[in-house]
Structures are given as structure tokens and as C-alpha cells.
Amino acid sequence: MAKYYETSTVFNFSWEQVVQAFWNRYPNPLSSHVLTEDTIAREIRNGKLHSKRLLSKTNHVPKWGERFYNAQSVKIVEESIVDPQKKTLTTYTRNIAFTKVMSVVEKVVYKESEEHPGKTIAVRSAWIDSQVFGFSRAIRAFGVERFKKNCGKMVNGFNFVLHKMFPVHVSNMQQQQQQDHLYMAKAHKIKEAAKTASDKVKAQADKIFIRHTP
């Protein structure tokens, strides 16, 4: 049975910006493992943009895995659907070689974040399987752990591209964060001042009450 893994990431950029950057995410300093990328099909159907791309990536194999395969690279098919009405970008990725040794099917949905307006959330799901008799469980476990590590690299690489493409947005975002921090600091000071004043009034009232108590 295939192992399932899911994770989500919030990008501090609008959905439109994320979609633009998606087509330009390679190369970046954290994607040296991506050797080539080619668009093999692209068309608009029912108002949605459907694309299919073929990627070639390096495929480092641990020593114990060389007995099963020792290819230096692997081919990846990436299919994507952009729905401008619902504002979703959905991608499906799978390897097309050595699938009996280990197959990785990934789905990512990029959509506007409901909790963080103006930002984009990416929900990433993966199904990892192996059909190697006697070793399938170990290979699946290895695949999940490697996928988790690669997720971090993918997110950092994508953020690098976003920051490079939209530097003004980053500057504005940082200014907003600074303003929010100052606002919270001022609000805290006002709250503390109000509490101090309230304590003083209460203390004075207690003194007056005690003074007039028979």
C-alpha cells in the first residue's frame, strides 16, 4: 500500500504572482538537480489553461539502492491546470521510469489563503509506492523522508524566485510588518498605562473608603 504524505505552505505573495513565478521557478540556486524542462503541450479548455511539461532531474541513489537501479537522471511528467475563475493552480507530477522500484505521484493546489488575505497557500500531497518484493516497505519509508527534505528545498527555491520577481512587494510587505509591530507595541503601552491608571484610582478609592468607614 502506498504511503501518503501531506504538507502545506503559505507564500507571502498574491495568487497571481505565484502563478507567474510558477512558470519561471527554474533555474534557481536550490534547483541544481533540475537538468532540463520542456513544454510538450499547452491548450485552453473550458476557460482553463492545461499544460504538460517534461522535466529531467538528477537522481542520487543511496548505496543500498544501487542494487535496484543506478540511473543518473529520471524523467518527470508535470501536468497543470490554471483556473482563473476559481483562482486555483493544480499540478500533478509523476516519474515515468523505474516506477516498479519507486513511484512518486504528487499533487499541489495553489489557492488564495482564506486565513491570510493577499497570500497564497499551497497544499502538497504525495503518494509513494514500491513493488520491490521484500524491500517495498523500506523503499516507501525512504521515499517519504527524501520527499520531506525535497519539499523544503522546493519551497525555499520558489520563494527565491518570488522575491526576485517581485522585490517591491517584498519591501511593502516588510514595511507593513514593521508598522504592525509598532502598532502592537503602542497598543501594549496604552494597555499598560490604562492598567496603571486604573490601579491608582482603585487605590485612592480604597483609601477614601477606609477613611470614611466608622
pLDDT band, very low/low/confident/very high, at 63 (cuts 50, 70, 90): confident
Task: Give the span between the Cα atoms of 103 and 2, in whole angstroms.
Answer: 9
Distance between first and last Cα of the chain: 83
Q: Is the pLDDT of residue 196 over 80?
A: no
Q: Which domain holds residue 133?
A: 3-166
* 11-25, 150-164, 189-203: least confidently modelled range: 189-203
pLDDT band, very low/low/confident/very high, at 171 (cuts 50, 70, 90): low
Q: Is the pLDDT of residue 76 over 90?
A: yes
pLDDT digits (tens, 9 = 90+) for 19-57: 999 999 999 999 988 999 999 999 999 999 999 999 999
176 domain residue, yes or no: no
Burial 172-187 (b: 16+ CB within 10 A, else e): eeeeeeeeeeeeeeee
Q: Is the pLDDT of residue 110 over 60?
A: yes
207 domain residue, yes or no: no
pTM equals: 0.78
For 42, 121, 155, the CA distances from 152, given in Å and listed in that order, are 29, 15, 5
57 domain residue, yes or no: yes
16 domain residue, yes or no: yes
211 domain residue, yes or no: no
201 domain residue, yes or no: no
200 domain residue, yes or no: no
- Work out how many domains the chain is built from and give that number: 1
Higher-confidence residue of 210 and 133: namely 133
CATH of the domain at 89: 3.30.530.20
Task: Give the span between the Cα atoms of 171 and 175, in whole angstroms.
Answer: 6
91 domain residue, yes or no: yes
Q: Is the pLDDT of residue 209 over 50?
A: no
